[in-house]
Each structure stands twice: as structure tokens, then as C-alpha cells.
Amino acid sequence: MGSNLLYCCIATQLEMTEQMQAQHDLCQQKAKALLLQMNSLSPVMKEKRSLFYIQYNKESSTALVLVSHQVRNWGDMRSINVMGHVLPKRNSVALRISIKPVPSSLSLNTITGHQIFKNKIKQSGEKRVGDYVFLELLDKQVYDDCLNEAVLLVWHEGKRLKLSIEPYNTLLADPGNTDINDGNWYETQMLDENPDITQFDPNTHPIFRYMWNPNIWKKQFKQRTLEQQNLKGPTNDRRQYDKARRLLRVTVMLNTMAAIRNRKYTVLNNNGEKLEVKLNPPLSLTTVLYSHDSMLANASENLLPLPFPYPKTSVRVENKDCLILYEELAAAGKQPLLLNMANQTTPGGGYRKGDGAQEENLFRRSDYYLSLDHVLDHQKPSPHKRFRCSSNGQLVPMTEGESMYQMDDYAAIYTTGLTVFRGIEDDGYPLMTQPIYNVSAVAMAAYRDPPSNKKTCRLLDSFAVGTRKKIENVFKIGLCRGHKTLVLSALGCGAFRNPPEHVALIFKSIITQYAGYFEEVVFAIVDDHNTGGKMNPHGNYQPFHDVLNGYDARPPYMQNIGMSLGPYFLVERLNQNRAKISPVIMGGAVPCEFAAHCREISDSEHSSAYSHPSLCPDGGECAGSNDDVHCKFFVHRKMCPKGGECTVNDEHHIIKFDHPEHCHAGGRCNDMEKSHLQQFRHVPLCPDGMDCRAYLNHDKHHRDQYRHCEKRCIFEGNCVRFHDKNHVTKEPHPFVPPCPFTPFSCKFHIKYTQINPKIDRSAEYTQAETHCLHYSHVCGWGRLCTDTSEKHSRTAIHIARQMCPDDDRCRRLNNEEHLAAFTHTNVRDIRLTCRCYASACKDRFDADHE
């Protein structure tokens, strides 16, 4: 490699992003194009070339690059892609030596205090590993003198020890049979690196050939974590320890990539014997990008009621790792789908630099990076399939240069065929003896640092409705891709600082909508370093557990127009009990930030521009009135005052009021009780009633369309036609058969109402009582009657006379004709019979007597 080629690589990559730098073909093409012009550069290009001084040392495979301060982008570059090899950039060369063999009893101070080093040892630059001592020197002349001397003489336990001084070298004779350890990596060369996987060339760097030892890694990570927690020094020191933790995670990722490239790895079995595990996934990796305009299901017409796969959807919240729960569900045959809490702009979030959130953890434990960060796929052409879902539901293959990022707000990326082969971080990312194949995951990004109400710990309206749409799209994809269970988590409640209780309640509203479509929804939540802040002082597990654990969501009993059953929105009812169902799409209209509380929800222009929640699946039996999130995300209509007896078909009335469900008996129902008629809607009564010829001929179609039962009198107990035998026979009334002598001539009713039963229990009274229980009579109080007992309702007819306009100020209370025509307060419509004849009664003109 010459200096000109190296210059061409640097010059063409100065303006590239890190993702572009990782594309080997692109970098190679641009470098070669510039290299062809080197013999005939323009004056401008020559001046640019003069800003670089490059010296290449073939023996050490290193290059010295001096750059003018005018080339500002050079300082930001961390590595250079040279003809497919990613070479790390160093701002300086560490001057390290190794001293051996050093007895464990020999004090480190004895060595570092030796005069040969002239106090030029870097602070904290000494490390002891086994019988080696590694020193980092600050002076080049001291470094050269030590190597020329090659021997260090020290006194120890009365003896003169001769220790050898050698240049530091991490390359071992057989790295394939050597663990990554403190001496060859963790305490030495790793500390010189930047936390970035792209600077390591898999073809040349030894880190890709070492074996994995989870115990060594776990010890290192715990030590760095403890040191960082106990540190009370300046911010720069904290950053150094954080950098070390990131480098440890980067090391895991590099080892993961090596296993994937080699399609195998080595582990120790229970007997301590080496076991080679081959990675042979049965299915190829398939990735599908679902963007705003993607359609998951076409519009359709279906017979109601829609079926549900499961009688209920159970929810539990576990304090477990998501992949452990996924493995349990997969082993039980429940076909789970895993939620990857993704980064919206960058594939894998900060996995390249050793970040520690859930998505980065998934990448380190599987081949997930081949799906989302496909530019790092070492196989060209890649055997993995990438598609985007179009607006007509077709899966369209994506080109090699087509990117899936930045994702739309409501977009998601579905991946199936993943292979998981590492354990959890707390155990040191151990390699599995049995990988988990054909794992399915969906990547969905939460809002980062969304504004919220600090008092209520609720997201602001626009972000609340947006978060619900994001989460619902995960459920849509899971259902349409045939998954039975979901493995979810506290989306956005860690580093992105979303309020956990509010997000849990949003999840609950969606689970209510999708009740019966999934067998189980499991939340895997482990509180980590991103919990315990102002937004989640009690962590994320506890709020989710309090809201969701043990919740059983059952499918709705009624299926009404305007309701969403899972992703299927019932648009309108068609003939023969069929309904039109809207298409299932990812984006659609922008969610109205006021949701169910929107005052313009009935405005057609507003509703065409913004989407609104569907009807509450629980209808009038909803128990979520105290849940502000439930009330916001479901429309709750008032029950129509007339209930099932409502005959109004006006669209505005139907939108404004809720109505009972239809009676399941259909045309076979013959219940004419008032309570039943208000509780349920019914098919219409046949105008021919019980004499209908089609009914008598057992016409099934006609009987299904109409009810045939005795039509109840619309005036019920207030009917004035009680002496019309034909009317009473055809139209039942709530009272028993009327007495033919009521209201004025029945001697039994007069005796029954005017005798005190406590005083007179004669046979004559008993006869009168028996008669009045078998026959109904007009109640003397009419509309003013206050007796609501069932006995009185069955034996009394209440005729409602017109109220006297003067009422209690009336001066005609002794006028017989006036009293017979109008009702007065505290005056019976049918007065008691006077014991005296009219002419003989002394009180006949007394108003109180009348």
C-alpha cells in the first residue's frame, strides 16, 4: 500500500458518515476513482494533496499521517477504510514494555522505582498479569534505552534477579486456543482503543480469533462498574471508567461478529471439555420494513360477530430478561414476537460504541445486526432477504443501497429467522450450548425525552396519542404475522425518559382493544442504570406490575359499528348481518391529540383529516370511568334514554348515543315486558300479529325477520279501553281482567276499599277481597296514586284525567260535574260512596266531605 492510495482513502472519506465508511464497496470505488486522477491533478486538488504528509512503514504495517490544521474533518475521523480493511486511527503511539518473569512476592514499587525508568512511567500505566508486568512510558528516549538494555536487575529476598525487558506484544502463537484475558486484551491493548467496532478489521485483528471466557469478562465488568460507582474524582475520571465499560461491551460484540462470520464457536461443557457449536439456522434471515403507507390487510366484508382465536388475553409482568422469557414461550409452542425498543435514527442504537440499553443487548447476543445494520454484513451478496411492505400489502425487495433508517414515526421493522446464542450480561454473555433459532422481533422506536406534565406524570396529548399508535402498530404486525403471544417491555421508559405508569396504562388500553387476539402478553422488565430517576423513581417494573400484572382482557360481548376489534374497525353494517371493515394500515390519518375528548369528532371534515379512537368495547358496562387514559382512548357514548325501544335512525343520533345490543332470540322473542324491551333491541313486530299467515305456515325467513307476539297496549295500565273486550284480548295489559261494573257500580270494590280489614274480617269482606284480587278496578286516585306495589299494579287501572288549572285554589270542589272531569291535589278522582242518600246527607255541601 502506497502513500497515494492511503491519501485517496482519507480524502474521499473525510465527508462520509460512519455508516458510509462501513460500506467497503463504496469506499473502495471512490478511492480507486481518485487514485486514477493522481497523475493529472488539477491545481485545486494538488493544493489539497499538499496539506497531507504520509509515511508508510511496510515492516510494522503502520502509517504516519501529518495533516494541516486546515483539514478540520481529520480530527473527527476515528478510522479509515482502506480497500475493505478498517484501520484504527491513533493520535499517539503508546510506549509499552513487558517485564518477565516477575515473582508474585516482588513489590511492584521495586520495579517502578528503578532508576532505569527515570520517573517516566505514566500514572496508572503499570499492570501486573501473571508473571508479567506491563509498563507504559512517557519518554521515547527512556523507552529506547530500556529496549537497548533488555535486562532489569533488582534485589529481592537477598538475591539479585535478572528480569528481561521486551517490547509489548499481544499477539500469541495460537490465539484460537487462548481466552480473551487481562494480559492480551482487557488490561493492555483494549485500553488504547476507542469504543467503536468499525475500527477493527475482522481479517487481521487478533481479537476476532480469541476464545470467549464469560468469567473473565464478568470480573472485569463488575470491577469497572464498582470503580465507577465509588469514584469521587473529576468528570474526566468518570468518563474513563465509562469508556472502559463500553470497550468491554464492544469486545462482546466483536466476539459475536466473529462467531457469525465463522458460523461456529467453542464453549466448555459441564465437564470442562471443549465443545464446538455450529450455527446452522434452519431459516434465512428475513427483514420487512413497515412504513407509514404500508398496508397489512385489505378492506373486507365479514359476517358478524367476528370470531376471536382465544376466550381471553392474559397479561403478566415478569422481572426477567426478555430473551429468557421468549425462549420459555417458544418452547411451549406459543409463537412469540419480541419487542425491540429501537433507535429511530440509528440501527442498533449505540451498539457499535458499547451502549447498554435493550436493543444494544440484543445485538450483542444474536445476529440481529445483520438485519438492521446490514452494511456490516460480511457476505456479499447477502443471503438475507430485505423487503418493504407497500401500500397495497405487497412485499417489495429492497436494493443493497436502500436504507431503512431514519424510521417514520409510526414505522416498524419486522425480522424473523434470528439466531440467539449468548446469555445475559450479568453472567458475562456466556455462549449457549444450544442456540435459539428462528427468533422473531419487531423494532419500534419510542419518543426521546417527550414533554410531559410534571404534576400528573402524563405525556402531553400529542405524544400520548402518538405513543399509543406506535404501540398499536406492534400489535398489528404481531397479529398479521401470525404470532400467538407478545414479549413486550417498558417502551421508552429508560434512557428516553417516558413516564412508566402512563405508558403502562396506554399498553392496557391497547390490550383491551386486542382482547381475544393473543393468547398471552408478557412484559419482561429489568430495572437497570436508566431507572430511579425523576421520571421513574420506583423503577419501571413496579409501575407496570401494578397496572398490568394479572389483567385478563376478554373480547367484547357486543360488536357495534364504530368499534375496533383488534386492528379491524367496523365501518358500517350491511345486509344479512354483515359489516364493512376498514383496511389495516400502519399510518393513516394523523391522530387527533384530543382523542375521545375531541369536540369536533362528529365533524366530517375534521374526522377525514384526523383519526379518533373507536367505541369502548365494553359499551355501557364499561368499568374504566376512573381511568383517565382509558377514557381518552375510547369513545364512551351516553345510553339512549329510550334504550331498546328507540326507533330513531338519524346518523347524528346514532353517533351521539349508545344503544343496547339486539336480543339474541331474534324473531323468536315473545317477551313484551317493558324492562326487556328497553334492555335489548328487537326485530320489528309483524303488522299481522299472531294471525299472520306466514307465521302460521312456519315460514322460517319471515319468522327471522319479524316477531309474532301479542302486542301490548301502548297505554298499558292507563288504558281507557278496558271495557273493549276485543282490544283487551288482542293487546295484553299489565292488569288482570277488568270488572264489568268498574268504576262506579261494583259493590265488592266499594266494600273492599271502604272497610277497615283490621276491624271487619267478616265473610262478606273476604268475598269482596277475593273478587278484587281476580278482577281489576279503576283506582280512585287516578294519576295521583302513590301505591307502586306489584299487587296494586295488577289489580288497578289508572285513568289519567286532566289536572284542574286552579288545582288547590279551585272554588268548584262541590260541583259534581267539575269533580268528575278534572283531577285535584288531595282529592280522589272517584270519591268514596257516602253511607247516606244524597238528600239525607247533612255534609253534602261541605267541600272537605265532597
Q: What domain count does the chain have?
A: 4
Look up the CATH number of the domain holding residue 532. 3.40.220.10
Q: Which residues contact 420 (CB under 8 A, 6 or more apart)?
A: 323, 326, 327, 365, 366, 432, 435, 436, 439
Q: What is the pLDDT of residue 833?
A: 78
Mean pLDDT across the chain: 88
**Residue 422 carries which side chain, given as an amino acid letter?**
R
The last residue of a domain, from among 518, 553, 588? 553
Residues 24 and 104 both lie in one domain:
no
Residues 174 and 214 both lie in one domain:
yes
- For residue 89, the Cα-to-chain-centroid distance in whole angstroms is 42
Domain that holds residue 549: 281-294+312-553
Q: What is the pLDDT of residue 539?
A: 92
Distances (CA, A) of 714 to 134, 659, 803: 103, 21, 22
Q: Which residues is 607 bridged to in the sheet?
A: none
% residues pLDDT > 70 (the chain): 94
pLDDT class for 469, splitting at 50, 70, 90?
very high
Task: Tell if the pTM clears 0.75, that is, is over it.
Answer: no
Q: Which residues contact 715 (CB under 8 A, 6 or more apart)?
A: none
Strands 159-167 and 151-156: what pairing?
antiparallel
Cell match 407509514: residue? 292
Burial class (CB in 10 A: 0-12, 13-18, 19+), 325: buried
Residues 332 and 455 both lie in one domain:
yes
Q: What is the pLDDT of residue 842?
A: 65
Q: What is the pLDDT of residue 792?
A: 93
Packing angle of the helix pair 214-230, 235-262 (nearest 10 deg): 160
pLDDT class for 59, splitting at 50, 70, 90?
very low
pLDDT class for 37, splitting at 50, 70, 90?
confident
Q: What is the pLDDT of residue 57?
A: 63
Residue 724 has which C-alpha cell? 273493549
Phi (first) and psi of residue 10, to 5 degrees: -65, -50
Tens of pLDDT, residue by residue over 791-803, are 999 999 999 899 9
Strands 132-137 and 95-100: what pairing?
antiparallel
Residues 105 and 197 both lie in one domain:
yes
Residues 394 and 420 both lie in one domain:
yes
Top pLDDT among 728 and 552 is at 552
Tell me if 574 is assigned to some domain: yes
Residues 511 and 633 both lie in one domain:
no
The last residue of a domain, from among 88, 122, 147? 88
What is the number of residues in the chain? Answer: 850
Asked if 171 and 206 touch (Cβ cutoff 8 Å), the reply is: yes
Phi (first) and psi of residue 66, to 5 degrees: -110, 130
Tell me if 8 is assigned to some domain: yes
Instruction: Tell which residue, 736, 709, 708, 711, has the closest CA to residue 722.
Output: 736
Q: Rounded CA gap, 663 and 665, in Å? A: 5
Residues 444 and 320 both lie in one domain:
yes
Tell me if 366 is assigned to some domain: yes
Residues 116 and 78 both lie in one domain:
no
Q: DSSP secondary-structure letter at 552?
A: E
Q: DSSP secondary-structure letter at 635?
A: B
Instruction: Tell which residue, 473, 488, 484, 554, has the closest CA to residue 522.
Output: 488
For 461-519, where are the E strands, in sequence order?
485-488
Q: Is the pLDDT of residue 58 over 70?
A: no
Residues 416 and 524 both lie in one domain:
yes
Q: What is the pLDDT of residue 848?
A: 60
Tell me if 679 is assigned to some domain: no
Cell match 402478553: residue? 521
Residues 541 and 569 both lie in one domain:
no
Instruction: Tell which residue, 338, 307, 336, has the closest CA to residue 484.
Output: 336
Q: Is the pLDDT of residue 772 over 70?
A: yes
User: Mean pLDDT across the stretch 703-718?
Assistant: 85
Asked if 619 and 558 touch (Cβ cutoff 8 Å), the reply is: yes
Q: Rounded CA gap, 265 and 280, in Å? A: 12
Burial class (CB in 10 A: 0-12, 13-18, 19+), 522: buried
The last residue of a domain, from among 553, 581, 597? 553
**∠ CA(387), CA(389), CA(395), 5° rounding?**
55
Asked if 710 and 731 touch (Cβ cutoff 8 Å), the reply is: yes
Top pLDDT among 595 and 131 is at 595
pLDDT class for 237, splitting at 50, 70, 90?
low
Tens of pLDDT, residue by residue over 195-233, are 999 989 888 788 998 999 999 999 999 988 887 777 665
Q: Rounded CA gap, 43 and 148, in Å? A: 47
Tell me if 356 is assigned to some domain: yes
Tell me if 713 is assigned to some domain: no
Residues 442 and 588 both lie in one domain:
no
Residue 618 has which C-alpha cell? 365494553
Q: Is the pLDDT of residue 670 over 70?
A: yes
Packing angle of the helix pair 541-548, 500-513 (nearest 10 deg): 30
Mapped onto helix, strand or coil, the DSSP state of residue 328 is helix
Q: DSSP secondary-structure letter at 612?
A: -
- Where helices occur in 50-139 by DSSP H, the ranges are 108-112
**∠ CA(224), CA(228), CA(231), 5° rounding?**
135
Look up the CATH number of the domain holding residue 149. 3.30.70.330
Tens of pLDDT, residue by residue over 339-380, are 999 999 999 999 999 999 999 999 999 999 999 999 898 887
Tens of pLDDT, residue by residue over 819-839, are 888 999 988 888 887 766 556
Residue 25: count other Cβ atoms within 10 Å of its Cβ: 12
Q: Is the pLDDT of residue 241 over 80?
A: no
Half-sphere exposure of 2 (CA within 13 A, CB side): 7
Which string of DSSP letters, residue by residue, matches 232-261?
-S-HHHHHHHHHHHHHHHHHHHHHHHHHHH
Residues 376 and 482 both lie in one domain:
yes
Q: Per mean pLDDT, which range of 13-22, 86-95, 400-409, 785-794 is the poorest?
A: 86-95
Phi (first) and psi of residue 842, to 5 degrees: -75, -20
Phi (first) and psi of residue 675, to 5 degrees: -65, -40
Instruction: Tell which residue, 211, 142, 199, 202, has the closest CA to residue 174.
Output: 211
Tell me if 634 is assigned to some domain: yes
Q: Per mean pLDDT, which range of 7-16, 30-39, 383-392, 588-597 is the poorest?
A: 30-39
Q: Per mean pLDDT, which range of 69-73, 619-623, 660-664 is the poorest?
A: 619-623
Instruction: Tell which residue, 384, 419, 93, has the closest CA to residue 256.
Output: 419
Tell me if 523 is assigned to some domain: yes
Cell match 405525556: residue? 459
